[in-house]
Structure 1
Amino acid sequence: MSKSGKHADIQWREDGQPLSLAYDDIYFSTASGLEETRYVFLQQNALAERWATLPENATFTIGETGFGTGLNFLAAWELWQKTAPKSAQLHFVSVEKFPLHPQDLQRALALWPQLQAYSQPLIEAYPPLLAEGIHRLQFGPVKLTLIIGEASRALDSLRLQQEKRDRYIDTWFLDGFAPAKNPDMWTEELFTNMSHLSRPGATFATFTCAGLVKRGLREAGFALRKVPGFGSKREMLCGTLEQLHDCQQHSTPWHLPCTEAQHPQSATVIGGGISGATIARALAERGVQVQIIERGPAPGSGGSGNDQGILYGKLSPKPGPNGDFNLHALMFAQRFYKQHCPRLAHFNGLLQLAQSDREKLLQEQIAASLAEHQGQNLARMVTREEACQLAGVDLPFDGLYFPNAGWLEPQKVCAALLEHRNITRYQGRAVESLTRQDDKWLLRTEGKEIETEAVILCGANDIRSFAPAAALPLRPIRGQVSRVHATEVSAKLKIALCGEGYITPAHEGCQSFGATFKLKETATELRESEHKENLQTLAELLPHFAEEFSSQDFNGRAALRAATPDYLPVAGPIPDWESLNNTYASLRKNRKLFIPEHSGYQAGLYVMGGLGSRGFTYAPLTAELLASWIMGGPLPVSSDLAKALHPARFAIRNLGKNR
């Protein structure tokens, strides 16, 4: 699990204002924090005037140092609603070293009842564990990317080190505690990262006129001007980025196509499971015209087609890409499904049971880390007695309780995500060929040709049937789920359970449990032997359920998942494999060698796959990452994590091992 951010240490003054004990400074003006925000940041960056003249479907991005109580974000959101075109999108990127605990955030924002229409959604979406790294929160056309960590490192984590791809900030709110109180934030590295993330002509505003701030901004290429300050403050700074500094590469850019992202207006997604549905939705919401081709009769006909499926993440007490991704993907997915298909997301709790001493020790380590960082709203350890009470049935184990996880209706979720005016569905069709023609892709399906700017391969194990993706090390895993009629005893189960296997609560009179895990098997017929295997797994968890179910005729379904060797998804642009191998051949002799050249990539061709058995947990955040690769803008994960999910990572590792 990634290190958690330390919460802000708040003292509440008699006048109701929050004071930071770490910096001995207030969060906002005691006269009027909201009016100060509107004057310093909104007015001096001329946002009302700039937003009123935005073109249709534009995206405007604000960068902020010091999220604090979120007041600046809420004030910007309110102004955006009043002045920007309905089709435009606002992206607010903010960093925070010491985030407010949810209770303190709620108390602080209660000071501004006039902003309740904006503050309440923020409070509801606020992450239950403020782990270090990037948290993407979505509010319709407004996105908040909240990065927990020291400011300069947090901004650096957004950079892919490609000039045009990294330049998307239109304006800066330079907030945070005063330089005299917090000199560690106002560093040369901070201003350099601001400069590299800014579009040409980006503006900034800040309440301070401290000398180190003026010097840092000038050296980073910003032109400055002083204007009268707010209230009793004599003056403040604002200005514009006028001089662009070249981006210095620090590492071999194997992950970056040699050509810039094209921001396509049309895209075709091959595969209508949860991968295809989430990336189609992410692109459609960015204004792209999306066509989705599913060879089955309906969305989610393959591995995403079960009647019930659970949403859970395999948390780890150790930092690293797998643990970090699981944590952030779970929190993102919990928000995502509640926003997009709340009636199909039954998130009334999930118990992850400790069926072995090793699993119990692991859960205790996770629970200790969560408790230390006040993350019990994400998960907490419960005794066997508590677990029985939560589940409504007798259980033999302690476990981790996830109050906001649970189960989904998978096939219906896929269909619901594809209900969007910018998405056209083609079902019951297989793609017969995929060729590059001029600057477009040409797809042939049964009786139809489709021309498109971008193609996203999402068909699980079918991804490798397309020549440009054949080198990806995706491997099939057969899984069979068993489905039975709920009994008088089993119908008492109130929440989803998982351990060695899983079982869902009753829905429409039936329950699902399983699932088998058959590596490299590709057959999809139902097998009586695997029903028995699922029943045996269930018997180790709930013997009385298994005994009652054993007398029934089992239904169910078998399907194939696709997994990668490192059990992380693949999401990103597909390389020209020969160019990649030739460009970085010297890594065979020295895997740490810095090679500044860029490799060739398949223009407009992307992949999203390898989600394994946690597809519904992984897909929303993976799709958001892929949408950022395709359309540009801030990443929803750190650049290091984006590389850990990149399709080229396996080829680069093989070169480093001289394979």
Structure 2
Amino acid sequence: MDKVNNKYAEIEWREDGQPLSRTYDDIYFSSASGLEETRYVFLQQNTLAERWQRLGKDGVFTIAETGFGTGLNFIAAAELWQQTAPESARLHFISVEKFPLRRNDLRRALDLWPQLASLAQSLIDNYPPLLATGVHRLQFGQISLTLIIGEASQALSSLRLQRDSDHQVDAWFLDGFAPAKNPDMWTPELFANMAALSGPGATLATFTCAGLVKRGLRDAGFALRKVPGFAHKREMLCGTLESSQSLETRETPWHLPKEENQLPQTVAVVGAGIASATAARALAERGLRVQVFEQGEEPGSGGSGNDQGILYAKLSPKPGPNGDFNLHALMFAQRYYHSRCPDVSHFSGLLQLAQTERQQQLQDQVATTLAKSDGQFLAEPVDAHTASLLAGVVLPFGGLHFPRAGWIEPKKVCATLLQHPNITLHSNHSVLELHQNPTDWLLKTDRSDVSADAVVLCGANDIRQFAATAPLPLKPIRGQVSKARATEGSSRLKVALCGEGYITPAHCGSQSFGATFKLKETATELRDSEHGENLQTLAGLLPQVAEDFADQTLTGRAALRAATPDYLPLAGPVPDWASIGRTYEALRKNRKQFIPARADYHRGLYVMGGLGSRGFTYAPLTAEVLASWILHDPLPVSATLAKALHPTRFAIRDLGRNRDIS
């Protein structure tokens, strides 16, 4: 997991209902009228209503804010956006916060503004159950909130990929506690990062006229002017970026194409499993026309076609890319399926049981970390007795209870996600060849030829069938799921269980359990021997249920997963492997050497895959990362994590070890 934040805002509630920060001994908003102050200082002085009315129907606007606080600025901006912007336009709102409010404090603060109740409730409903340090992406229709927990300057820096499109902020809300109360935030590094993330002509507004703020903003390239302040405040600052800046870095830009792609209008997505469905949906929701090509008869014909599947992630007590991604992917997926696929998502809870001493030790470490950060909203430890009460069946182990997780109907989830007016599904279409033209791509299928501005390859292990993606180190893993008729005893199960294996609650008279894990096997026929393995694994969780199921003739499915060597997904542009080898050849002798050059990439070609056995947990957030690459959107994860998912990472590691990369 990320370094979990255990420094929540300590709030003192005054007699008039206003929240005051004990850390900074300062109020969060004007006691005269916090909402009117927000509208005057940030919305009016950045002339947002006028700018949004001029946006095209597919326009994109980005606001960045220092100091999320109670979320009042975000909600006020969202309200104005809904009133003035074109319906199909998109708003990105990026906000940083070092000391986030607890959910109950957030609710109490926003209750002061009953006129904003609907938007406030949406924010509260989507508020992350665990506010770990790092990037949290929340979706509200055409509005996305990127909430970054951490110190302001570092938080903003974490979004910078060194790409030209880092310059995307159109307006700044320079908020936060006053410089006299919170001098650590108002630093030259903060102002430099603001300039590095600003687009041409970016505006800013702030309530303060403190000298260090004026000097810092001017040094960073902003032209400033004073205007009357709100209520009793005599003056405030507004400004416009005059000279765009890029901060120097000593990180080799292997992840960036030599030439950034043009924004596409049409995209072809190859495959129709959960990777394809989430990728297509992410792009369609952004206004692109998407064609999806599935070689089977319907969505989810491959590894995503089971009747039931669990939604879980294996949390790690240690920070690092795998633990960080697992944590954020799980929280994002829970919100994602609840909003887009509520009819086929069953989030009645999940128990991750500790069946061995080693598993118990790891869970104890996770529980200790969660306890420091109000983590019970995400997961909490339970003993065997409590686990049995939650599950509705007797369990021999305790574990972690995830109250907002559960199980989904995978095949129906894929079909539901693809039901969008901007998506066209082509079933029974196998893509045989890809050809890059000067301005687009030609896909040769077994039925017709199709062109598109960009292509996303999502077909699990089939990703490697094309020359451009053949070097990707995807490995097939066979998995067989068993399915049994629910019995009187098994029907008592109320939550999904996972440990060495998993079992779902009864649905339509049956239950799924499994699954086997056969590395490098590619056959997909059903095997009685693997039904036996699944029964043996189930016996470790529910011995009587396993015995009852053994008396039946079991059915099920066998399919192939695709995994990477580090078990993180792939999401991003596809490189020209020869160019990578030439450009970064010197890494063979010194893998830490700084090489400022960029290599060639296949223009408009992307990949999303390697989701392994947690595809339904990983796919939604991975698709958001992919969309940010294609459309130059703000990242939904840190730049460090985006590079940890990048398709080129393995080639760079191989060069550093003096190995062949293709």
Q: TM-score range by the shorter chain?
A: over 0.9
In structure 1, what is the equivalent of residue 170 of structure 2? 170
> 1:436-474: per-residue Cα shift (whole Å, max 9, x none)?
122211001122110111000000000000110000000
CA distance in 2, matches of 1:178, 1:324: 32
1:17 corresponds in structure 2 to 18
Q: Quick check: 1:261–1:632 contact (8 Å CA) kept in 2? A: no
> Is 1:4 aligned to 2:1, yes or no?
no
Deviations 1:526-582 (A, max 9, x none): 000000000000011110001100110000000000000000001100000000000
Alpha-carbon separation, structure 2, partners of 1:618 and 1:261? 26
Amino acid at match of 1:501: G
Q: Which residue of 1 aligns with 2:644?
A: 644
Q: Aligned to 2:329, what secondary structure does the other structure show?
A: helix
Please name the residue that 1:397 is paired with: 397
Deviation (angstroms), 1:117: 1.1
- d(CA) in 2 for partners of 1:135, 1:437: 38
Gap runs ≥5 in structure 2: none
* CA-CA distance at 1:487 after TM superposition: 0.3
Cα distance in 2 between the residues matched to 1:116 and 1:9:
24
Distance 2:197 2:299 in 1: 39
Asked if 1:122 is matched to 2:117, the reply is: no
Kept in 2: contact 1:572–1:646 (CA 8 A): yes
Aligned to 1:516: 516
Decide whether the 8 Å contact of 1:584 with 1:595 is kept in 2: yes
Aligned residue number for residue 143 of structure 1:
144
1:93 maps to what in 2? Answer: 94
CA displacement 1:347-387 (0-9 Å, x = unmatched): 11000000001101111110111111111010000010000
Identical columns (%): 70
What corresponds to 1:196 in structure 2?
196
Cα distance, 1:249 vs structure 2? 2.8
| Residues 498-519 of structure 1, C-alpha deviations (whole Å, 9 max, x = no match) | 0000000000000000000000
For residue 39 of structure 1, what is the aligned residue in structure 2? 40
Specify the SS of the correspondent of 2:435: strand
For residue 244 of structure 1, what is the amino acid of its counterpart? S
One-letter amino acid matched to 1:64: E
Q: Give how far 1:174 is off.
A: 0.2
Distance in 2 (alpha carbons) for counterparts of 1:194 and 1:228: 24
- Residue pair 1:261, 1:629 contacting (<8 A) in 2 also: no
1:542-557 equivalences in 2 (<5 Å): 542-557=542-557
Deviation at 1:14, TM superposition (A): 1.1
CA contact (8 A) 1:161 1:248 kept: no
Q: How does 1:468-483 map to 2 (within 5 A)?
A: 468-483=468-483
Shift of 1:239: 1.0
For residues 577-635 of structure 1, the C-alpha deviation after alignment (integer angstroms, 9 at most, x for no partner) is: 00000000000000010000000001100000000000000000000000000001210
Q: SS in structure 1 opposite 2:204?
A: strand
Q: Counterparts of 1:389 and 1:361 in 2: how far apart (Å)?
A: 23
Give 1:165 shift.
1.4
Once the two structures are superposed, the pairs formed by residues 321-340 of structure 1 within 5 Å of their partners are 321-340=321-340
Unaligned runs of 5+ in 1: none
* 8 A Cα contact 1:165 1:261, kept in partner: no
Find the residue that maps to 2:376 and give its secondary structure. Answer: coil
- CA distance in 1 between counterparts of 2:9 and 2:245 reads 35
1:421 is the counterpart of 2:415:
no
1:107 — aligned with what?
108
Distance in 1 of aligned mates of 2:107 and 2:368: 25
Q: How do residues 338-357 of structure 1 correspond to structure 2 at under 5 angstroms?
A: 338-357=338-357
Q: In the TM superposition, what are the counterparts of 1:203-602 in structure 2 within 5 Å?
A: 203-602=203-602
Q: Which amino acid aligns with 1:588?
A: R
Matched, 1:27 2:28: yes
Q: Which residue type is aligned with residue 307 of structure 1? A: D
Find the residue that maps to 1:513 and give its secondary structure. Answer: strand
CA distance in 2, matches of 1:261, 1:50: 27
| TM-score (normalizing by structure 1) | 0.99
Q: Distance in 1 between matches of 2:432 and 2:246?
A: 45
Hey, what's the Cα distance between the residues in 2 that align with 1:285 and 1:191? 33
Give 1:244 deviation, angstroms. 1.3
Q: What TM-score, normalized to structure 2?
A: 0.99
The answer for the alignment partner of 2:68 in structure 1 is 67
Displaced runs of 4 or more, over 4 A = none
CA contact (8 A) 2:69 2:101 kept: yes
Instruction: Report the alpha carbon displacement of residue 260 of structure 1 after superposing the two structures with TM.
Output: 1.4
1:19/1:26 contact within 8 Å kept: yes
Letter aligned with residue 376 of structure 2: Q
Instruction: Kindly state the Cα deviation for residue 318 of structure 1 after the two structures are TM-superposed.
Output: 0.3
Query: Does structure 1 conserve the Cα–Cα contact (< 8 Å) formed by 2:429 and 2:447?
Result: no
CA distance in 1, matches of 2:62, 2:285: 16
